[in-house]
Structure 1
Amino acid sequence: MQKKLLLIAVVLIGVMVAVPAILVSFDHDDPLDGKSPSDQDEDISLNAGPEIKVYLTKEKKVKKIPMERYIRGVVAAEMPADFHLEALKAQALAARTYIVDRLLRGDYEDMKARGGKATKAYVTDTVDHQVYLTDEQLKEKWGEDYETYSNRVNQAVKDTKGQVIHYKGKPIYAAFFSTSNGKTENSEDYFSTSYPYLRSVPSPWDKASPKYKDQKEFKLKEFTRRLTESTGKQISVPASAGNGWIKVTERTEGGQISKIQVGDQVFTGRQIREALDLSSADFEWSLSNGQITLVTKGYGHGVGMSQWGANLLANRGKKAKEIVRYYYQGVEVTQMNKKLARKEKG
């Protein structure tokens, strides 16, 4: 009898030791790997969509990135993460539309100019397409705010998952920029193509942007030298010209300089902006003691969605789709092409 009781006691002790061990083992093999169900859902959401082949210029390699995770990296790179959530969502819509349009057209001819591995990619991580930052770069950029900012950007991407801006059933060319001079530009006034949805619209709230005004100074010799080097046009200034050797001859509907005469040459506002690395093509100037001072209004090309305008509108209660429909005229926000959404990864 005593032997039976001893045997039962041994068995019970063994069970008591084994059960916690089994539970610990199960917990260790949990597919969530320490993540909450919401974290797992977030990962699944960001890993959705066709893979985007991005050429990382610093590493000089091509990386395959699921579309929604790519959009996360673009939104985080292109717009301040502390912007209003609705502005971040508007940026996510624009970024996704840009890459979807590029995928559907399948035209990556511009990648050939970079040569090497870049020819195997769809886009670069630069302003040539859309700026993209990897998670490692974001950790360095955001520092101790990484978790907070990451969650905000992730939310914007998740809330707009798979949504694209369409005009008459096709993805638009979703141009965007930082800050307007008070109005956006018609596409043909800066680019070579006219798009019916990229029309000039008032954006007066942009005046509250910290990037609304900027100033640069140049010695006159440097001013004319840089214009000549950039455009190939040799500038001659008549001795009798006085201070009137620079004059605007035409402005765009959005208020930027379309044509400007410098000495005996005529330039576009874009040519001046790019040659001198100005914030915009809307500028005024003053001449004094062999020096020219240029004061610009706005930041960027001015076509499409103003990012600071979007943020200021969001702070006034506008939703992402309202912001998008304002800056891109006559568009609708719908789910991306089903064939593209089901496209095999590769």
Structure 2
Amino acid sequence: MKAMKPVIVLSIAVAFVIIMIPAVLVLPFSNDATSGKLAEHVEKKEKEEGKEVTANEMSSIDVAVYRSATKKIQKLPLESYLSGVVAAEMPADFEEEALKAQALTARTYIVNQLISNNRQGLPEGADVGDTVMHQVYKNDNELKKQWGSDYKWKMKKIDKAIKETEGQILTYNGNPITATFFSTSNGYTENSEEYWQAEFPYLKSVSSPWDKESPKFYNKMVVNAGDFERKLGVSLSSGTTIGTVVQRTSGNRVGMVDIGGKKLTGKQIREKLALNSSDFDWERQGNQIVITTKGYGHGVGMSQYGANGMAREGKNYEDIVKYYYKGVKVQSSSKWINTLTAKK
């Protein structure tokens, strides 16, 4: 019997191990405390690889805005800057989904601007201006003065749009896009290369029928014939003819005009005469040129009144931005925010 004891002990030990191994393997997944720690580890890893950006992280980045009126630089958290941009760029009484689309374009624009080295036209230390050269920005005091008793509800609505798109930007092929926008189209947006000569695959002409409801869809202005000649550097004939449109763009704007042998682009004429749009018709009445325009703005990218029209029809902000910017993705800005934070 004594000789059998080691065998018995060994058999018991083996049986114990066989029984316990499955229990050991299952234990970390069945024990609540250990399971929680494992889930935390997995969740942490997932967040590190592609995490959403929180408001605190966005606000840890400062934006240095050159204030054109005071000629001073104002530094403020990125999220606060976005509030001032959306408030200045889009009417607060627009639909919430349109305001979210605007928040997305504004955030994309400033993230793109911050990671670039382009500070052309800005004083040293400034990241961006507060005019249409970049994005229009107004601070709280300016908005309170502008809105008066409506300030609270308007600001609450805008902040909600920013919060509900928190950390999101628009990308194409994994990079932030040039998120251009404007007020009102002539019924179509414009190919980027037909206005700026720089081609972006996501800035292509699309139909925008909602803009016809915009109060800025039509505009008429009168220019003295002498001022017309001086500003455009042309000479008008004594008849009623002003010039011939020799080319139209994909967005049905004026591409090229021939005035007495001098050729000018629609963009040049719009800028020199301060027209609302490069979609125009004109008529000579004695010593005056009557010019009628359709749309308001350069026409490239997202139409704000178009976005509002889409929102009224039940489209959400992702529907809107993906309609006006072809082939883009709505993506977390964490990759770029982390880069900017690391530079601080």
Q: Same fold (TM over 0.5)?
A: yes
Asked if structure 1 preserves the Cα contact closer than 8 Å seen for 2:257 and 2:265, the reply is: yes
Asked if structure 2 preserves the Cα contact closer than 8 Å seen for 1:286 and 1:294, the reply is: yes
Inter-partner Cα distance in structure 2 for 1:180 and 1:63: 33
Structure 1, residues 265-320: CA drift from partner, whole Å, max 9, x if none? 11100111111111100011111222110100000000000001001110110100
Inter-partner Cα distance in structure 1 for 2:160 and 2:262: 51
1:53 aligns with 2:64: yes
Asked if structure 2 preserves the Cα contact closer than 8 Å seen for 1:45 and 1:158, the reply is: no
Q: 1:189 to 1:342 in 2, by over 3 A?
A: closer
Inter-partner Cα distance in structure 1 for 2:114 and 2:323: 25
Q: Find the residue that maps to 1:110 and give its secondary structure.
A: coil
Q: 1:220 to 1:195 in 2, by over 3 A?
A: same
- Where do 5+ consecutive residues of structure 1 fail to align? 1-42, 112-117, 229-234
TM superposition shift of 1:343: 3.5
Q: 1:191 aligns with which of 175, 192, 196?
A: 196
Q: Report the aligned-residue RMSD.
A: 1.8
Structure 1, residues 63-120: CA drift from partner, whole Å, max 9, x if none? 2211111111100000001110100000000001011111122321332xxxxxx221
Q: 1:85 aligns with which of 92, 96, 99?
A: 96
Q: Residue 133 of structure 2 aligns to which amino acid in structure 1?
A: D
1:179 is aligned to 184
Inter-partner Cα distance in structure 2 for 1:86 and 1:46: 24
1:279 is aligned to 276
Q: Residue 146 of structure 1 aligns to which amino acid in structure 2?
A: Y
Q: 1:159 to 1:46 in 2, by over 3 A?
A: farther
1:219 is aligned to 224
2:131 is aligned to 126
Q: 2:255 aligns with which of 250, 254, 258?
A: 258
Q: 1:144 aligns with which of 138, 146, 149?
A: 149
Q: Residue 174 of structure 2 aligns to which amino acid in structure 1?
A: G
Asked if structure 2 preserves the Cα contact closer than 8 Å seen for 1:226 and 1:276, the reply is: yes
Q: 2:119 aligns with which of 80, 91, 108?
A: 108
Q: Find the residue that maps to 1:260 and give its secondary structure.
A: strand
Q: Find the residue that maps to 2:131 and give its secondary structure.
A: coil
Q: 1:119 to 1:237 in 2, by over 3 A?
A: same
Inter-partner Cα distance in structure 2 for 1:45 and 1:312: 33
1:164 is aligned to 169
Q: Where in structure 1 do 4 or more consecutive aligned residues deviate above 6 Å?
A: none
Inter-partner Cα distance in structure 1 for 2:139 and 2:322: 30
Inter-partner Cα distance in structure 2 for 1:342 and 1:225: 50
Inter-partner Cα distance in structure 2 for 1:149 and 1:46: 25
Inter-partner Cα distance in structure 2 for 1:261 and 1:324: 36
Structure 1, residues 168-214: CA drift from partner, whole Å, max 9, x if none? 10000000000000000000111121000000000011111110000
Q: Residue 137 of structure 2 aligns to which amino acid in structure 1?
A: Y
Bigger shift: residues 284-293 or 180-189: 284-293
Asked if structure 2 preserves the Cα contact closer than 8 Å seen for 1:214 and 1:297, the reply is: yes
Q: 1:342 to 1:270 in 2, by over 3 A?
A: closer
1:320 aligns with 2:321: no
Q: TM-score scaled by structure 1?
A: 0.80
Inter-partner Cα distance in structure 1 for 2:137 and 2:159: 14
Inter-partner Cα distance in structure 1 for 2:175 and 2:272: 35
Aligned residues, how many?
A: 290
Q: TM-score scaled by structure 2?
A: 0.81
Asked if structure 2 preserves the Cα contact closer than 8 Å seen for 1:185 and 1:303, the reply is: yes
1:70 aligns with 2:74: no
Inter-partner Cα distance in structure 2 for 1:342 and 1:250: 45
Q: Find the residue that maps to 1:109 and give its secondary structure.
A: coil
1:298 is aligned to 295
Structure 1, residues 33-76: CA drift from partner, whole Å, max 9, x if none? xxxxxxxxxx9669724111111122222122111111111000
Asked if structure 2 preserves the Cα contact closer than 8 Å seen for 1:49 and 1:68, the reply is: no
Asked if structure 2 preserves the Cα contact closer than 8 Å seen for 1:46 and 1:158, the reply is: no
Asked if structure 2 preserves the Cα contact closer than 8 Å seen for 1:87 and 1:311, the reply is: yes
Inter-partner Cα distance in structure 2 for 1:144 and 1:180: 31
Inter-partner Cα distance in structure 2 for 1:285 and 1:64: 45
Inter-partner Cα distance in structure 2 for 1:176 and 1:269: 19
Inter-partner Cα distance in structure 2 for 1:82 and 1:126: 22
Using the aligned pairs only, state the percent identity: 48
1:340 is aligned to 337
Q: Find the residue that maps to 2:124 and give its secondary structure.
A: helix
Q: Residue 85 of structure 2 aligns to which amino acid in structure 1?
A: V
2:215 is aligned to 210
Q: Kindly name which structure, 1 or 2, has the bigger radius of gyration based on alpha carbons.
A: 2
Q: Find the residue that maps to 1:329 and give its secondary structure.
A: coil
